[in-house]
Structure 1
């Protein structure tokens, strides 16, 4: 951020207070440099874990593959699953009919055998077909193990056993896929909150209904109470209250007035407003949310990549073990039971179920995680670096004092500074321009505008060069600030100060103030309770300003007057000292520091492409309490992943031993196979409800 030496309510030269100013929020900035080069896999199916090649741990089940968002709608896939469920139930009914015939017609074994054979073939067909297809393609997956066991039972004439095993496996797959589809359908339903039509306002003021896809930036739409908003935009007329929970995760509606931003998919609750469209379709904030969720689902944690490197040996190894069991026992039922039990369903579901549950819990609170690796690693953070302005503070800088040099009118000082700052998107610039507009000053056209990161801005106004920024920067440019250093003109230590020079002469300074976020103290305290060893505040402000904010937040570790390079150096220094560092900023002018962190978090990303793209994790709201929740969620996710993996491993080893000693039948093996999968799924599902107690902060600004 382009902090100033100090910046403040405005006073004239005589010290009279100036008009209070509106606050300004940061919204755009330079793009972030690439933080890391992580591979991203393109999954082949529902729970794909392969990265570059097929793996036995690709939990695909092609027959029930539900794909990923954006492929085919989840609701359409639900219809396909319903059709397949009918086929599975029909096959199960035929197998059950075989047992019924044996009971009611003891002498008609052929009828029961025929019914069992038909049912077994109907149930086994999809598994055998896709296993054969994978083998002809040179791929080995978990389906082959189950298919081989079923094929062995069929070849031995054990139609009832083959049918029941296939039925149980298919029902398990169906339930898993139906559960995944339900979660995905919920996401798609959330994203479809963007209405199909909108009320377009024509140039003559008339209104007509158009498709939302026909909207273009610059057009105006009218939104009435109860309507969902069709596009991102800016309110140009009217006031209202909008429920933005779908974007920010905040359950408290936000009051909106002229000039405020609104988002597609949010709900208008009260007034009638006219909105100028800025972004439509996939370019909206909600469209970006969908893409981030989809991309996150396709990523994998390092642990699964390690497993994949060795997974190619899994199927051959298991087949050798099963062959040894059959060789020493000569019991086909033991071999079939072993084949069913070594299908690594519980093991391969261990990670994706926990990660998807964690992503869902985070997304519900407006926390967008771009890569599941970041969800897994955030729990390792033991040092947090905050960029002060816009993160720990509201970023709503207010001009609280104007101090012109001798012979310069306060209005002239403000006009000159605002004219140059008008071309900048920095919060300081917005605050200065806002107070100038409030004072109804006419801003002049500036030539040769240039913004120097972390220092200030310059340009030519009425033929003279104007510099607006840090005192040190102006001094480096040869500006003498001695005339502003007298006791009467010197700025107070607790103000952020913006110095202004024209034609080589200092013409005054502008003081600004910022306030800490109301939930910041609680968030910092909670971070310490989580064991965060270092909390460092970085700011470009003067030491007195930085110390004031740090004291209010209960922090003693801060660095003032930091240029972007100094912030980057501070982050690297922590990492070199052995800390696992999370960097939290607003994604505006802190891109280098964000890029240097092990985990980077951008605050207030709703409506800001720069903020969303500037970090690995984006908090759509400005509620700092989301940060400690994220760390708790990560730690809990890692714990559940390890629990699931250990359980899956123990189940496979124990099941193999039980099957080898003949302590279970193939049917019991299939039942236990299903039970193990559901234990993993339900264990992971505990994550989904995390954070429900995290209500919006009462004083949280909208």
Structure 2
């Protein structure tokens, strides 16, 4: 939990610094305001008001000069020097009230900038507050003991009661419950959990008592990964931010030259001071960071983990989305929908042989077949000489006879008798993923499986098209009829079937060479090479997948495809807000410089028309206090504009009720179909 501690200390340091700044501001403002009141009551000839304002200006100026000296010692030339010169010059002229106000306004702007830069730490702190501090560990005697969550180790057994915050990642041993996973996946509705399912640290058990075996602790948990991804994204910079940092060292000398020119032509020190203040580009500097921090926070709230903030900008430019089929467009949960034995073999016999041979396999097809066997209540045969060939099938000896279960090509490679291709009716198998079965070297039938399409897939792909995506494609290792059926149902025109991982990479690279900006969306396991090949790699359902986190540039902790069009909308809105922020930042500087450049005659006429009676050097449209006000106003506008991003996605709850009903009906239909198959085997 070392990273946990370091992150917490970093956040606390930021809070301590901000608290100290607030104390300085509060103390300084009291003296400055007291100075104004003393002058109003006792008259300006009394030195009480000036003395109070002088103390206030000194207090407020301490933080500014301390930062400036620190920068100079490090060999940095920043805009802090401009502010320090302006405050010092105003103070030296005896304008203590003005010096205090200038320092006050600039400190406020600096504090806003500082809090913006530490926005990621604030997000992490909110996550830390959700992290459990206690755990109920079950000791060797079966008794429950309360310990610190940090003391948990992999392999420990813990008990999670209703209302408890799950203290570590783990697998449920006993018990059933509903878990609120919003902190990890962004899903607003609770998820039902049963024995064998995984629960994540930082999620909340709503009901049911669970006994869990700990599999991950500390920074290795999904909660820890989410926290690190937020920090990593906040510390990264966009291309434009890097350019700004590169040229900011030249900006301060340029402003000093401009100030010297103003002095040469006007001999007006107040005007020069105003130029230094208004040219301090606080609003410009925070234009991008404020928007990016808000966007990252909004995305993470919905379970969209972004590693580099530059990917937020890039997402708006995507015009090609390439999807893996299984586990992305579909749920990845296979169900047996058809048992087709050859003549002379009963469906029950085909199921017994297939399930018996597959019972030691971890492949999804094996799980689907064994589930049906359990529903049908058939008695399995203990396999001998079990052997699994990756990507092809399994072989086992059942009651002295060799049984092969797998791809058609694999059975043919093993010299299975009979023309398998002619034995399989293409019209009958269309849309099914097939597993072929042989016994004693003779082909005895096939098992057809279907994979449920995600209920939101069609709507999500349609929304991507509305967002300007010109090419949608599905690439799959499955057979062409299966991939084409899925593509037709979700409205995707481009399909590539029978693809190996290398062919998926080649397809992505081909689109990039043709000028497309490509996002590849996959499950992060079989699709790791393709995820890295795209301009953006998006891993679906990344919670619990180490490979997904490592391979993808963006990880969706849930499997909700609606996050994809939302990501594009968020990206476009972020770019729009950044552009507006730049206009505000540049505009505040330009407006201030234009006001400073207006000749006294014009300023006198305009101020007189507005009801003021300026005299002498005051016949200017700007002074140090007005300049500081313009700077602060621009900074506040930028922050408020960026804050609009925080409210985005608040309407993204679970999939709407009608769609959920449709999904349940589809699911019921699939279940009924499976039950029919099971009944037919008995």
Determine if the TM-score, normalized by the shorter chain, exceeds 0.5: yes
Could you say which residue in structure 2 is the equivalent of 1:556?
493
Shift of 1:152: 1.6
Could you say which residue in structure 2 is the equivalent of 1:331?
268
SS of the aligned residue for 1:139 comes to coil
Go from structure 1 to structure 2 and tell me whether the alpha carbon gap of 1:114 and 1:563 turns closer, same or farther (over 3 Å shift).
same
SS of the aligned residue for 1:312 comes to helix
Radius of gyration: which is bigger?
A: 2
Could you say which residue in structure 1 is the equivalent of 2:392?
456
Question: Where does structure 1 lack aligned partners over 5 or more consecutive residues?
Answer: 1-67
Could you say which residue in structure 2 is the equivalent of 1:666?
624
Go from structure 1 to structure 2 and tell me whether the alpha carbon gap of 1:180 and 1:141 turns closer, same or farther (over 3 Å shift).
closer
Match of 1:130 among 67, 78, 99: 67
Mean Cα deviation higher: 683-692 or 650-659: 650-659
Could you say which residue in structure 2 is the equivalent of 1:379?
316
Between the two structures, name the one with larger relative contact order (CA 8 Å, sep ≥ 6). Answer: 1
Go from structure 1 to structure 2 and tell me whether the alpha carbon gap of 1:466 and 1:288 turns closer, same or farther (over 3 Å shift).
farther
Could you say which residue in structure 2 is the equivalent of 1:157?
94
Asked if 1:147 is matched to 2:102, the reply is no
Match of 2:40 among 96, 99, 103: 103
Q: Is the 8 A contact 1:413 1:508 kept in 2?
A: no
Question: 1:355, 1:465 → 2: CA distance?
Answer: 61
Asked if 1:689 is matched to 2:647, the reply is yes
Question: 2:255, 2:445 → 1: CA distance?
Answer: 80
Q: Is the 8 A contact 2:386 2:394 kept in 1?
A: no
Shift of 1:460: 7.8
Question: 1:347, 1:338 → 2: CA distance?
Answer: 16
Question: 1:442, 1:498 → 2: CA distance?
Answer: 19
Question: 2:351, 2:545 → 1: CA distance?
Answer: 34
Could you say which residue in structure 2 is the equivalent of 1:680?
638
SS of the aligned residue for 2:520 comes to strand
Go from structure 1 to structure 2 and tell me whether the alpha carbon gap of 1:610 and 1:88 turns closer, same or farther (over 3 Å shift).
same
Within-5 A mapping of 1:507-656: 508-656=445-593
Shift of 1:194: 2.6
Within-5 A mapping of 1:314-329: 314-329=251-266
Mean Cα deviation higher: 346-355 or 393-402: 393-402
Go from structure 1 to structure 2 and tell me whether the alpha carbon gap of 1:211 and 1:203 turns closer, same or farther (over 3 Å shift).
same
TM-score, normalised with respect to structure 2: 0.85
Asked if 1:254 is matched to 2:191, the reply is yes
Within-5 A mapping of 1:34-183: 70=7, 72=9, 74=11, 77-106=14-43, 109-177=46-114
Q: Is the 8 A contact 1:226 1:267 kept in 2?
A: yes
Go from structure 1 to structure 2 and tell me whether the alpha carbon gap of 1:241 and 1:428 turns closer, same or farther (over 3 Å shift).
same
Could you say which residue in structure 1 is the equivalent of 2:353?
412
Q: Is the 8 A contact 1:345 1:677 kept in 2?
A: yes
Superposed CA RMSD in Å reads: 2.8
Go from structure 1 to structure 2 and tell me whether the alpha carbon gap of 1:76 and 1:308 turns closer, same or farther (over 3 Å shift).
closer
Q: Is the 8 A contact 2:476 2:498 kept in 1?
A: yes
TM-score, normalised with respect to structure 1: 0.83
Q: Is the 8 A contact 2:357 2:386 kept in 1?
A: no
Go from structure 1 to structure 2 and tell me whether the alpha carbon gap of 1:481 and 1:347 turns closer, same or farther (over 3 Å shift).
farther
Structure that is richer in helix per residue: 2
Question: 2:44, 2:214 → 1: CA distance?
Answer: 77
Asked if 1:300 is matched to 2:237, the reply is yes
Mean Cα deviation higher: 436-445 or 477-486: 436-445
Could you say which residue in structure 2 is the equivalent of 1:31?
none
